[in-house]
Amino acid sequence: MGATAEAVSWLCSSDEPWTRYRALSDLGCRAVDEAEITHARVAMIEDGRIRALIARASNWPGYALKRHNDAGHPIYALATLADFGLDRNVPGISEIGEAVLGHFDGGGFETYLWLPRFLTKEDEDTERWGWMLCDSPTLLYALLAFGFGSDPRVKQAVGTLADLGSDQGWQCGAAASLPRFSGPGRKADPCPMATIYALKALSLVPAAQESPVVAAGIETILAHWEHQADYKLRMFGIGTDFRKVKYPYVWYDILHVTEVLSRFPSAVSDDRFAEMLTELTSHADESGRYTANSMYRAWSDWSFADKKRPSPWLTFLVTRVLTRGERHSVDEATAGDSSSSDL
Q: Which residues sit opposite 233 in a β-bridge? A: 236
Query: At CA 64, angle to CA 63 and CA 66, rounded to 5?
Result: 130
272: Cα within 13 Å, side-chain hemisphere: 16
The pLDDT value recorded for residue 230 is 93
How far is Cα of residue 19 from the mean position of the Cα atoms in its chain? 16
Give the pLDDT confidence of 134-143 residue by residue, as tens digits. 999 999 999 9
Of 20, 74, 57, nearest in space to 250 by CA: 74
CA distance 288 to 224: 28
- State yes or no: pLDDT of 338 exceeds 50: no
The pLDDT value recorded for residue 144 is 98
- State yes or no: pLDDT of 343 exceeds 80: no
CA distance 247 to 328: 25
Is 174 within 8 Å of 133 (Cβ atoms)?
A: yes
**DSSP 3-state of 172:** coil
- State yes or no: pLDDT of 328 exceeds 90: no
With both helix axes pointing from N to C terminus, report the angle between 254-261 and 212-226 in degrees, rounded to the nearest 10.
Answer: 140
- pTM score, two decimals? 0.93
Rg of the chain in Å (alpha carbons): 20
CA distance 144 to 19: 21
142-156, 185-199, 260-274, 328-342: lowest mean pLDDT where? 328-342
- State yes or no: pLDDT of 166 exceeds 70: yes
Is 208 within 8 Å of 157 (Cβ atoms)?
A: no
CA distance 319 to 290: 10
What is the pLDDT averaged over residues 51-58? Answer: 97
Is 109 within 8 Å of 60 (Cβ atoms)?
A: no
The pLDDT value recorded for residue 342 is 36
**DSSP 3-state of 73:** coil
Instruction: Give the mean pLDDT of the chain.
Output: 91
80: Cα within 13 Å, side-chain hemisphere: 29
What residues have CB less than 8 Å from 61, skipping those under 6 apart? Answer: 74, 75, 111, 112
> What percent of the chain has a predicted confidence (pLDDT) above 70?
93
The pLDDT value recorded for residue 1 is 52
The pLDDT value recorded for residue 181 is 82
Give the pLDDT confidence of 2-35 residue by residue, as tens digits. 667 889 999 999 999 999 999 999 997 766 678 8
Length of the chain as a residue count: 343
- State yes or no: pLDDT of 304 exceeds 60: yes
What residues have CB less than 8 Å from 197, skipping those under 6 apart? Answer: 133, 134, 137, 138, 141
- State yes or no: pLDDT of 295 exceeds 60: yes
Give the single-character DSSP code of 29: -
Burial class (CB in 10 A: 0-12, 13-18, 19+), 242: buried
Give the pLDDT confidence of 211-252 residue by residue, as tens digits. 999 999 999 999 999 999 998 998 899 999 999 999 999 999
Per-residue confidence band for 177, with pLDDT thresholds at 50, 70 and 90:
confident
- State yes or no: pLDDT of 191 exceeds 60: yes
Q: How many other C-beta atoms are found inside a 10 Å radius of the C-beta of residue 131?
A: 25
Give the pLDDT confidence of 261-287 residue by residue, as tens digits. 999 999 999 999 999 999 999 999 999
What is the pLDDT averaged over residues 89-106? Answer: 97
CA distance 130 to 110: 5
